Amino acid sequence: MCGRFALTQPLDVLTDLFQATPDNDLPELPAYNICPTVPVATVRSDAGHRRLSAMRWGFLPHWYKTPGDGPLLFNARAETLARKPAFRDACRSRRCLIPASGFYEWTKDAEGNRLPWYIHAPDHRAMAFAGVWQDWERDGQRLRSCAIVTTAAEGAMRQIHHRVPVVLAKADWALWLGERGHGAAVLMRAAPEDALRFHRVAPEVNSNRASGAQLVAPL
């Protein structure tokens, strides 16, 4: 799973990297401790024109009467994405990229203490998580929301957690966004083992209120 992540690259770097037009509602960057229910930067494609815009991290199915009406769907399992009622339509026609510099996972020591890890690309470049999105509207309230697609971890990552976000290679972004036709299902797999690095970080990040570059520093 992925319950926290970081995005530290500045806006101009992201717009150039994703070749996307930025909207005015983007969250402030850098952000070292992004949690579910907050706005996150996403990339979606409209007939090949990419937009970098904010969406609520926490997918809202159309039948939710309020944003808190059901489970908080911040992750979507790749194995069931096309079948689950909440996600199946979005899987076909509303896919997005969710930029990230890295994400956090936790293990436990012998005493049950939560030990945080930071997982990132080898060169600390921005990554793109596979995502799905949905517009939700009820009683005049409208929200655009998203979820990160996850899959089974491979290799050394399994030491930390059995699930990881689907990290898409740059060459696959267009296919996931629907700009190159059909066939995006083949992309829902774990990244190659050499595509991710991880290190322990201080327990300060255990609090969702913590912030600052020190959260990603090696312990």
Residue type, 126: A
146 is catalytic: no
- The residue annotated as part of the active site, out of 2, 91, 96, 146, is 2
Residue type, 178: G
Beta-carbon count within 10 A of 23 CB: 12
Alpha helices in the chain (DSSP H): 11-18, 88-93, 173-176
Strands (E), 18-140: 21-22, 31-34, 39-46, 49-57, 75-77, 95-100, 102-108, 114-120, 127-138
| DSSP secondary structure code for residue 134 in this structure | E
Polymer length in residues for the chain: 219
Q: Using CA atoms, how far apart are residues 173 and 130, in angstroms rounded to an integer?
A: 9
Q: Using CA atoms, how far apart are residues 89 and 141, in angstroms rounded to an integer?
A: 21
105 is catalytic: yes
- The residue annotated as part of the active site, out of 28, 35, 96, 105, is 105
Query: Looking at the annotation, which residues are catalytic?
Result: 2, 105
